[in-house]
Amino acid sequence: MAVDPLASITAGFRSWRHVPFADRADGLLRAAELLENGRDEFARIMAAEMGKPVAEGRSEAAKCATACRHYAKHGEEMLAPVAQGEATLLHQPLGPVLAIMPWNFPFWQVFRFAAPALMAGNTVLLKHASNVPRCARAIAGLVAGAFGRDDLLQAVFVSGKEVEPLIADPRIRAVTFTGSTGAGREVAAVAGRHLKKSVLELGGSDPYLVLDDADVAKAAKACAAARMVNAGQSCIAGKRFLVAAAVHDAFTARLMDEMAAWVPGDPLDPATKLGPLARADLRDELHAQVAASVAAGAKPLLGGFIPSDPELREKPYYPATVLSEVAPGMPVFDEETFGPVAAVVRVKDDAEAIELANRTPFGLGGAVFSADPRRARRVAEAIDSGAVAINAQLASDARFPFGGIKDSGWGRELGRHGILEFVNVKTIRL
């Protein structure tokens, strides 16, 4: 008899919510071991399904293990009762949570939500992206093996049209979604109609500000890595590089050198740094953004074309691309570019850099490069986003809250804020 995934996790929640924190932590620690021991196989699955180079896939699996260990160690403390006058505040699990996850980081996106959610006593219904079904099955199998039960996380394989009934189902108590802003609006609308708590991590057009006193070589290296991670298919990738006029030419030259080193290759080859994009239509959309920006005055310095080589064209690859003389009104400035395209913008001073950084509907992340920590901090505080790195590539980290504002969504994952998203803060007053 086929298992009903939602019925399974609903039944599982009834007992899981009462399992001691120590036992939940033990399960997460076993999950961490399985992630690390199986990282080669998981990386091959990611490479086969969405083109991620195996070196990045292994790192992704290892990062998931760090999240599991973090919540195993700190989850009970984060959820401990809080005495407040004559009252006690309890943090109790909500119940089954629907996780609608994307393909670009098919393991990390799931575990950064699932590790804290499971530690808090919730169960998970995973609706993964349609192009990574093997990843979904592998994650469900890993969680079942780690916790010794298969009613804590179940994968469901349905079309996008079948998601709305899942959100509406009264057994689902909350929804978490990572994906495009347009799809996020639809999920939020359905969740709102049914009064379901939701967390949305959506698109981004992250600004990286290179001030006139920045170490150009270090900034270019970090910016290239920020743009090229996962072939540029990351909401939190650096996308718009706002560079002070005094260092613009030197930075742009170094950025071109750094990005030129990312050569397309077989994602199953451990030496490959740049894999293909996940789908041909995504490459076509990206190239259309580049072409329209060039037609509007952007200057292509590197890449910016669909490869003529039949194999690279079919896979589908897009080369590392650098555009200079970018300005508002161009697609690569105004829109999210989901691929290896760096848009370089010349700015005259910090004030203009901040103004252009914030001239976007998005607000996910960003970075500032400067030799003066106080100056960098002032600029970082003025950027409208959920996170800003100083003199480094911005990356999510299990220890710190992650999420955006404006069209980049609401709510937080990771850190203490992340584990509190899916709990009922109950006041018991004597």
**Is the same domain home to 293 and 419?**
no
The CATH number for 346's domain is: 3.40.309.10
The total of other beta-carbon atoms located within 10 Å of residue 108's CB is 18
**Is the same domain home to 182 and 235?**
no
What pLDDT, in 10s, does the model give residues 357-393?
Answer: 999 999 999 999 999 999 999 999 999 999 999 999 9
Ranges of the chain with pLDDT below 70: 1-2
**Is the same domain home to 40 and 147?**
yes
Give the whole-angstrom CA distance, residue 32 versus residue 26: 10
CA nearest neighbour of 276 among 225, 312, 304: 312
**Is the same domain home to 262 and 136?**
no
**Is the same domain home to 349 and 259?**
yes
**Is the same domain home to 229 and 147?**
no
**Is the same domain home to 198 and 214?**
no
**Is the same domain home to 262 and 184?**
no
For residue 395, being part of any structural domain is answered with no
* DSSP, res 386: S
**Is the same domain home to 413 and 366?**
no
Name residue 214's amino acid: A
pLDDT value, residue 161: 87
Q: Give SS3 for 259.
A: helix
**Is the same domain home to 280 and 412?**
no
Is the separation of the CB atoms in 224 and 239 below 8 Å?
no
Domain span holding position 335: 206-390
Question: Prior bond to 316 cis, omega within 30?
Answer: yes
For residue 179, being part of any structural domain is answered with yes
For residue 399, being part of any structural domain is answered with no
For residue 397, being part of any structural domain is answered with no
> What is the number of structural domains in the chain?
2
**Is the same domain home to 292 and 162?**
no
For residue 36, being part of any structural domain is answered with yes
The CATH number for 97's domain is: 3.40.605.10
Element spanning 154, H or E: strand 153-155
pLDDT value, residue 2: 67
User: What positions carry a catalytic annotation?
Assistant: 201, 235
**Is the same domain home to 193 and 217?**
no
pLDDT value, residue 3: 81
For residue 396, being part of any structural domain is answered with no
Burial call 205-215: b when 16+ CB within 10 Å, e when fewer: bbbbbbbbebe
pLDDT value, residue 1: 52
